[in-house]
Amino acid sequence: MEYEEIVAAIAHIDAASSVMGLGCPFNVTMETYSGLNEARNELNQTRLAMLGNGGDRPYSVAELNIPE
């Protein structure tokens, strides 16, 4: 999986969470809420690992400072 795909997947999960109102998870099952959070956390760990040092970096690929 490419870095851009990871960032896009995280953005889709965030959008789904927003649409379903997971800030107050009364309208979805706890399994759904937990599953989305777990998937997002796993993707974010993969994203950090792809960047090398595991430190927090920008989510947007456009914000990365890539030397030429």
- Digit-coded pLDDT (tens) for 11-27: 888 888 887 775 555 67
**pTM of the predicted protein model:** 0.67
6, pLDDT greater than 60 = yes
φ/ψ of 4, rounded to 5, equals -60, -35
- Spatial neighbors of 34 by CB under 8 A, at least 6 apart, are none
Please give the pLDDT value at position 20. Answer: 76
Q: What percent of the chain has pLDDT over 70?
A: 66
Measure the CA–CA gap between 4 and 39, rounded to whole angstroms. 16
